[in-house]
Chains A and B, each alone.
Chain A
């Protein structure tokens, strides 16, 4: 039956019936959920987020035509593995931004441009998105980033250099910044 199920995913993709393909992949921080549409990566679920809830949310907001189809996410998984190994400093993946709009989308675009190993403040992100006073809203945009890691919201800190928040939990944010050499390793 496994072979039949794989074949269903392949045929669904060929026939344009696969609106959302997803899979899980391991990371040093725990399992990640990856979801893609034909347009590109649409959602990354972090280890502390409830994968089932996230899938139900995607079904409602994108399309219920969802299948577990790991092959559709091979390239995303490959790049993430390299990133966690410290061997990739720039993701080159098509992204589907449909889960964000307006000011939040502009904040996420600004975040996507922060280079590997550098950080910015929430205030800078608010300014880049066109409203320097909307610092709190910029923080919310980071918190609701549907494509974390690839859209590197972990590189956004408070103005004084404090970590701020992270959807995946602060230890993960810390770990990512250590990986990128921004923070020293814990003593």
Chain B
């Protein structure tokens, strides 16, 4: 038999990180849907999961795929400005402006920034999540940060 921990423990430990990644990647309004999709997909695949060494990375990767699916479904349109403003206005957290700006980044940069700063993933794992080389991940991150500095200056 398997030695997988009860799935609820994954939720208890990593729901906050997954939500942070998704809020960064798709905005607050759509994060809830992606969040449900992420954990349902994970639950579906869970019994067949062979390597339990990095459950957090596994969840973040799934969250990322859901965010990408979400953007594809929206026809790769950028996040509508009205939506971002609405989220920012109703957001009691001081980081609201930053996430709104992150949400407006091009998708690769947005992904790299959220994986690095919301999920605290190392470059190698960001690269794995994005399906690119560590150098490319580093470059996306660098460009994302540069742009954010300019936006928020």
- Tell me the A residues contacting B by CB distance below 8 Å: 1, 3-5, 7-8, 11-12, 15, 17, 20, 22, 55-56, 58-61, 63-68
Contacts and interface: CB of A to CB of B under 8 A. Distances in A.
Contacts of B1: 60-61
18 contacts: A1-B15, A4-B32, A4-B36, A5-B11, A8-B11, A11-B40, A17-B43, A22-B8, A55-B6, A55-B9, A56-B5, A56-B6, A59-B6, A60-B3, A61-B1, A64-B2, A66-B7, A67-B11
Interface residues of B, number: 22
Interface in B31-52: 32, 35-36, 39-40, 43-44, 46-47
Interface in B1-39: 1-9, 11, 15-16, 19, 32, 35-36, 39
B2 A60 contact: yes
Q: Interface SS of chain B: helix, strand, loop or mixed? A: helix
Nearest to B19: A1
Nearest to A3: B32
Interface of B: 1-9, 11, 15-16, 19, 32, 35-36, 39-40, 43-44, 46-47
B36 A67 contact: no
Contacts, number: 59
Contacts of A22: 8
Given A1-B15, A4-B32, A4-B36, A65 B5 contact: no
A81 B48 CA distance: 38
Contacts of A12: 40, 43
B6 A66 contact: yes
B40 A8 contact: yes
Q: What are the nearest 4 A-B pairs in CB distance? A: A64-B4, A66-B6, A59-B6, A55-B6
B122 to A, nearest CB: 26
A7 B19 CA distance: 15
